[in-house]
Structure 1
Amino acid sequence: MTFTINVQPSGRAFESLADEAILAAGIRQGIGLPYGCKDGACGSCKCKLLSGSVVHGPHQSKALSAEEESAGFILTCCGVAHSDLVIESRQVTEAGAFPIKKMPVRVSALENASHDVKLLRLQLPASDSFQYHAGQYVEFLLRDGERRSYSMANAPHTQEGNPHMELHLRHMPGGKFTDHVFGAMKEKEILRIEGPFGSFFLREDSDKPVILLASGTGFAPIKALIEHMQFKGITRPTTVYWGGRRPADLYQHAWLLTKAAEMPQLRYVPVVSDALPEDGWSGRTGFVHLAVLQDFPDLSGHQVYACGAPIVVDSARAAYTEHAGLPPEEFYADAFTSAADKTSPISPLQQETST
C-alpha cells in the first residue's frame, strides 16, 4: 500500500510506502524536506499537516510537544502516513538535492584542536565523486549498525584535486565512536560513511545580512559556510558569533581572525561563558545567543544560521523569533544531538495526528 504526500506551497508530490517515515520516502525520491537528526530529537523537520492522518514513532517532546501535535504539527523523520497527506513545508529544491552515497573513507590525519576536540581528515575514493552543500553532514556506519553524524568542516570546492573531508569531533567520554577516535584510531584506518544529509546550507537566493551562530564544535559547518562564501564571492554582511565555556574551546580562533581580515564583509565576535582569571580573557562574556541580541535587537531583516548544542539552538530560535522580529522561516539550524540526546526520554511510540 502506498500513500501520496503532497507538499505545499510547492505542489510537489511523492509516494510513501506502508510503515515508511515521510522523510525517508522524500529522500528516496529526491524530495528535499528540511531535517536534521532524523531521530525525533531536534525538531528541524517539523511541519504543518494540512490534511490526512499521521502516526508518530518515538520522539522527544522538545522536538514536538503535545500542544504542537494537537495543533496539527508533525515530525516527518518519525511520522508515518496512514492516508494520503497534504503537508506545508519549506524544502530543498530538486536541483540542489545531491545523491546520497555510501562509500569507504581512509583516515588521513588526526590532529588535536583542543583538550577535547580532534580534527579528523578523511581521504575519499579518488575514483568517485562526493557532492554536498557546505553545512551538510555525513553519517559513520558502525559495525553494529549504529550511526554517528558529523558535519563537514570544509567547503565542497576544497575537494578539487584532492577528494577529502574535514570533521571536528568532541570527545564524549563513554561514547562508542569518540572513545575510539580519541583512543585506538590510527591513520590509514578504513571507515564507512553515508551522505550527504541535512538541510543546513546557505540560501544563496537571498541578499539579507547573515548571522552565523555556533557553540563548541557547531563551528564545523559554520567554517564550511564561511569558506563557501569566500570562494563564491558572496558579499552579504555576515557576523559570526562563536561561543565556548573557556577561550581554549574556540579552537580555531586564529583561523577566524584571519578570515575576518581577508573578507571585508565578515565580522567575528568570540564569546566565552566561564572565563577564569588565568585565561586572561578580555573579550565578550556570557551566553553566545544573547550576545547576538545585544548587537542586533532587530533581526527582522536578517537570516540566522545556528549550529551547536540543542539548548543553544533552541534558546536562540525562541529569543530571535519572539523578541527580535526574526521571521521563523529565516532561522536555519543544525542542533548537534549526541547519542545520549537521542536516547533520553521520548514520547510514546504510537501517537496519531489527523487533520
Structure 2
Amino acid sequence: MPWLRRRPRTAGAQSIYQMSIHPGPEHASARQDETLLEAGLRAGLSLPYECRNGGCGVCMCTILNGRVDHGAYQPSTLTAEMRAEGKALMCCAVPLEDIEFEVPVDNLRSGAASTIKRYQGRVEQMERLSDTVMRVLVSLPGSQRITFVAGQYINILLDNGERRAFSFANPPHDNALIELHVRLIPGGRFTTHVFEQMKVGDSIDFEGPLGRFTLHAGTRPMLMVAGATGFAPIKSIVEDAFHRGVQRPMELYWGVSDVNDLYMLDLAESWAREHANFRIVPVLSNPADSDVWRGRTGLVHEAMLADHADLTGYEAYVCGSVKMVEAAVPDFLAHGLGKEACYSDAFNPAATSIPGNAPAAEEGPSA
C-alpha cells in the first residue's frame, strides 16, 4: 500500500552516499534514510517537486547507476514498466549505495525549477456541509490573491513540518477567498483540528499552487469521476469551464457511501438545469436505506462504464481515494480510453502520523 513506513536500515549500514546528478553533473551527499530530493535540496539544487508524497510524478528522475529503495508511492504514478526503465521518484527514493541519476531540467542551479510560494491566510468562514465535511474559506492579507489553475491544490503546513493537501474548490475567476472542502478523517491530525478547534480568525500557513490535474484543451466529451471530496477540484474545473464558455459535453459521476455524503448535490443539479452540456449522476456504494434511495448504487466507476462501455474518443478526469483511482483507471483503459486522455488525482487519508512517515494528505491532492 502507498505511504507505508519505510523499513529502517540495518545496523552498520553506510550512512553517507555520494550522488552525481545530471545535468552538470552536480554533486551532493545523502545522509542515512534521506531521499534523493531531500539531499539535493539540502545541497542547494533546484530540483522539481510538488507533493513530496509519491503521488504527482513531478520529481521523476532516471537512475543511471546505483540502487535505490523506491520507498512508498502511488503505483499509478510510478508503474512497474517505468521502474524497469530506471525511473524513480526523488521524493521517495533513498539511495542504497553511491548513485548517479538524471533530472529532466535544463539547469540544476537555475533556481527556476520550483515556483511554489508560501502564504499565511486567515480563516474567514466555516460551514459544516455534512456530518463529515467542512467548507473552509480562507483569505490572504490585504487585497492579495493567489493565481491558480482549476484543479490545482495547496499544501497546508503543519507546525511539525508535515503537509496536508487540499484542492481549490473555487474557480480561478472567483479567488477573493480560497474555498476548501475538509473531510473528517478518524485520527487525522489536521482534520480533527478543523472540526474540533479551528475557528474564524485563525491563521493558516500553506504553500501553492500545486498539481497538474487540470482541464486540458480539446473537443472530446468529458467524463468526470469524483469520490467523496474528490468533488472539490471537479467543482473548480466545472465552474471554470462554464465561466469560459466551454461547450464540450461534461458528465460527472459522483460516488459516495451514503446520500448524506452528497454534500453539494443541489449545486451540481443546478448546473445540469442551467447548462445543457452538463449531466450529474450520483452513485451510492452503501446506502443506509435502499428503500428510500432510487438512484444508482455500486462502485462509481462501474456506473460510468455501464453508461459508456466504449470510451474511445472520450476524455476522463478521475479524482478520489487511491483505491478508487487504482481500480478505475485500468478499467477505463481496458474499455478503450486512450492513455493520453486519462487524467487522475488520488489522495490518501492520513490518520495520526507515524514517526518516519513521509507527509501524507488527509485529503487531496487532491481534495
SS at match of 1:230: helix
Match of 1:70 in 2: 84
Q: 1:87–1:191: structure 2 CA closer, same or farther, 3 Å change rule?
A: closer
Q: For 1:197-244, what per-residue CA distance to the aligned partner results, in whole angstroms no more than 9, with x for missing partners?
A: 11111112x221111110101100000001110111111111111001
Are residue 4 (structure 1) and residue 18 (structure 2) matched?
no
Cα distance in structure 2, aligned partners of 1:260 and 1:124:
33
Match of 1:9 in 2: none
* Count of aligned pairs between the two proteins: 321
**1:136 partner amino acid:** Q
Of 267, 272, 276, which aligns to 1:264? Answer: 276
Of 138, 141, 158, which aligns to 1:122? Answer: 138
**1:4 partner amino acid:** H
Shift of 1:292: 1.2
5 Å-filtered alignment, 1:1-355, equals: 3-4=21-22, 19=30, 20-21=36-37, 37-40=51-54, 42=55, 44=57, 49=62, 55-56=68-69, 58-60=71-73, 62=75, 64=78, 69-79=83-93, 82-85=99-102, 99-159=115-175, 163-204=176-217, 206-277=218-289, 280-321=292-333, 323-340=334-351
Shift of 1:164: 1.2
Q: For 1:36-64, what per-residue CA distance to the aligned partner results, in whole angstroms no more than 9, with x for missing partners?
A: x4312x47559684966673552247464
Q: 1:18–1:292: structure 2 CA closer, same or farther, 3 Å change rule?
A: farther
**Contact 1:150 1:169 (C-alpha < 8 Å) held by counterparts:** yes
Structure 2 length-normalised TM: 0.76
Shift of 1:84: 4.9
**1:174 partner amino acid:** G
SS at match of 2:119: strand
State the structure with more CA Rg. Answer: 2
Shift of 1:101: 1.2
Structure 2 segments unaligned to the other structure (5+ residues): 1-18, 31-35, 106-112, 359-367
Cα distance in structure 2, aligned partners of 1:300 and 1:104:
45
Match of 1:94 in 2: none
Residue range with higher mean Cα deviation, 335-344 or 147-156: 335-344
SS at match of 1:294: helix
**1:168 partner amino acid:** H
Q: CA RMSD in A?
A: 3.4
Q: Compare the two structures and name the one with the higher helix fraction.
A: 1
**Contact 1:309 1:336 (C-alpha < 8 Å) held by counterparts:** yes
**1:326 partner amino acid:** L
Structure 1 length-normalised TM: 0.79
Cα distance in structure 2, aligned partners of 1:274 and 1:101:
41
Shift of 1:74: 2.5
Match of 2:363 in 1: none
**1:108 partner amino acid:** E
**Contact 1:50 1:86 (C-alpha < 8 Å) held by counterparts:** no
Structure 1 segments unaligned to the other structure (5+ residues): 6-12, 89-96, 348-355
**Contact 1:51 1:86 (C-alpha < 8 Å) held by counterparts:** no
Shift of 1:117: 0.7
Cα distance in structure 2, aligned partners of 1:341 and 1:308:
20
